[in-house]
Structure 1
């Protein structure tokens, strides 16, 4: 784990504003092209029209699509002129999961790292915390996520974090009011095995 990053459970009462302030945007001029083959689909990165997108975040969890079972924040210490023991921290990442009890899959519902802190091990620290959570280790066999074929920066990060493609859905998002139609890509990675009794 990155020693400059601390991960702790999300506290809705104190963390909501800080999590909402995380820059969840990405900028890309690439996309993943999905091509049908005789036995399935082929994925390839291709050039695309420049795009900036901000992922939505429902911290009120008022809709079925917005509910999760557990969440964490990642904090980074301010590197200014403060003694180490009194350095203020800033919330720089957020992860939330929900349990799919029927198939024992843990769905990574949110994984956001503020744009100014990407590439510094924040996402890895959040995922390591998820991997070590006793309830997750007891209930889940894999960590699964869904993202858009337009999120090439995220896809590259997920692959670097050990996720592999496991499916797609051409119709999940439907027709957008504006912008390109998006394709849902699914990725998964196994969770660490539970220790033997």
Structure 2
């Protein structure tokens, strides 16, 4: 379902620049200065309406979270969620994550989350998948030593592709879960998509891969 265009989105983001970083490139090497507390920084690529990042921020107040969402009409919902939940350890970016190295410097991020990313199922679109090797190169650059990437998806093909991609890149698979909700992980924070798919009985796949 297409998201309705919100003509007021630009003004709304500008009004909430304490939450939304309007010039993320200017924060290169200085993201720690963008938060009130100097804490590890975790990055979510594809924040959606903000349910996951806000839930994580509340669960882990000793971590700072940055969320990237390219669709302006969606990120406004994430901004409102941050305000409603009253979390002060979240910053949002309305940009395409095509080259994270423009916004983040080497060793600046501690953990990356890829939640229900577009699977780009056609072979000709392989390079657009967020677990393709060129994206892994970016992640390795901006992550600290032994930094981790956590992937959650309902798409079995993307999950299998990602496991191979991580392994071929030389990453260590620390966790591979074929049905996340079967293990009853009390620390798991669900996304909007996750709630929708799991309610239909679809398995949710999760893996954690670490650079070495």
| Class of the TM-score when normalised by the shorter of the 2 chains | 0.3 to 0.5
Higher CA-based Rg:
1
TM-score by length of 1: 0.38
Structure with more strand by fraction: 1
TM-score by length of 2: 0.36
Structure with more helix by fraction: 2
